[in-house]
């Protein structure tokens, strides 16, 4: 168990002072060290992390499609990202591990990632969602600033244009069919048509750009184009 000074230093690194420090001790205890371990806290922290990152991406990148945001979130919350972030809290030296997991300098990335999620879960139980959000955003500040969801994969309009140019030697045409609502709360219905293809597809959204993306995605499906590849760049 951490000394009082070590506990204070860890709480300072995490950015949360625990009313119930037993939650923090449990978050640092791997199942190999016996019960109570951190697996339930890890489960909870994983959900809180997803929610906070999803909220951040949703509010920051208001015109990005759901698929783009999903790809960005997956990159931010995946295990190797969390394992690297464990060093920000200097979790490795304070983890409680059983003999089977004590391997000197090296600790498996999965254990480090799980510990990060467990600490997040502990913060949530101790201080609520606002405290967990603050801790997560501070921990992931650099990663969140570097992420650029619109560049994680080609959007639907780009893929459709490339597909129609290659296969039909034409460009898709977008047309606003309807724009309703007050100026500050418009709602657009946009059609997408391609010369030589019967009919058109429609997309609806509060943003014309997003509506065009939806219509383009439907046209890609209509044409039987290959779906966008998942982000495997890292």
Catalytic site positions? 46, 117
Cβ-Cβ contacts under 8 Å for 101 (sequence gap 6 or more): 30, 32, 107, 108, 111
Task: Tell me the C-alpha distance between 95 and 114, whole Å.
Answer: 11
Contacts of 50-56 with C-beta under 8 Å, sequence gap 24+, read 50/77, 51/129, 52/132, 52/133, 52/136, 52/137, 53/77, 53/136, 53/140, 53/144, 55/133, 56/137, 56/144
* Residue 15 · residue 90 · CB < 8 Å: no
């Amino acid at each position: 168990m951490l000394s009082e000074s070590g506990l204070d230093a860890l709480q300072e690194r995490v950015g949360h002072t625990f009313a119930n420090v037993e939650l923090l001790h449990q978050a640092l205890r791997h199942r190999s060290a016996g019960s109570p371990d951190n697996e339930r806290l890890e489960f909870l922290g994983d959900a809180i992390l997803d929610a906070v990152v999803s909220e951040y991406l949703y509010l920051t990148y208001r015109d990005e499609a759901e698929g783009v945001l999903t790809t960005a979130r997956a990159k931010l919350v995946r295990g190797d990202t969390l394992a690297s972030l464990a060093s920000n809290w200097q979790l490795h030296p304070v983890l409680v591990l059983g003999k089977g997991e004590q391997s000197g300098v090296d600790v498996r990335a999965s254990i480090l990632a799980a510990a990060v999620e467990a600490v997040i879960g502990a913060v949530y139980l101790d201080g609520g969602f606002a405290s967990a959000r603050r801790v997560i955003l501070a921990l992931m500040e650099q990663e969140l600033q570097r992420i650029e969801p619109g560049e994680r994969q080609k959007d639907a309009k780009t893929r459709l244009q490339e597909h129609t140019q290659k296969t039909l030697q034409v460009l898709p045409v977008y047309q606003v069919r309807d724009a309703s609502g007050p100026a500050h709360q418009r709602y657009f219905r946009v059609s997408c048509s391609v010369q030589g293809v019967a009919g058109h597809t429609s997309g609806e959204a509060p943003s014309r750009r997003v509506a065009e993306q939806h219509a383009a995605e439907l046209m890609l499906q209509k044409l039987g184009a290959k779906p966008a590849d998942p982000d495997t760049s890292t």
